[in-house]
Amino acid sequence: MAMIAVSLLFFAASLLFPGLGQPADSGRLEHLPIKVTVINDLTNEQISYSTTVVEEGVMFGALNQLQVDTNMKFNFKYSVHNSFGLYLESVNGLAGSDQDQTYWELLSEKAGVVTPLEAGIGCYQPERDETLILRFTTWAKK
């Protein structure tokens, strides 16, 4: 429980002090251009945003930067899972639901090839000119 509290405090502090938690030489790290595309499979809506991520930075930082860049027109919420770390809960006010069998799928598009991410928002490191796709979708009943 103490680790969760410390993690949450660190993330809250990183939102207030953007450089917190970055490498000591982060001032020399390049800001890489990326895109974030939000797709809602249920309504066929799609919106794309441009932002940057610091070289060696993670998706969580890019999403936070995007909130700042868009003056909160893009926003997201997350939770901290005890075993798996940060979990994307909602994007632009739309949350996944166990009852409705909906969730946010994390994808990457590089050179026209779309693949599922093998890491979550707290670990995935975007690359220059990559498109991160946040797709609201459903899973099939078994």
Q: Whole-angstrom Cα distance, residue 44 to residue 74?
A: 18
Percent of the chain with pLDDT over 90: 73
pLDDT score for 95:
97
How does pLDDT run across 78-109, given as a tens digit for each residue? 999 888 899 999 999 999 999 999 999 999 99
Identify which has the larger pLDDT, 80 or 3.
80
Sign of the four-CA dihedral 62, 63, 64, 70: positive
Model-level pTM? 0.78
Domains of the chain: 30-138 (2.170.130.30)
Percent of the chain predicted with pLDDT > 70: 79
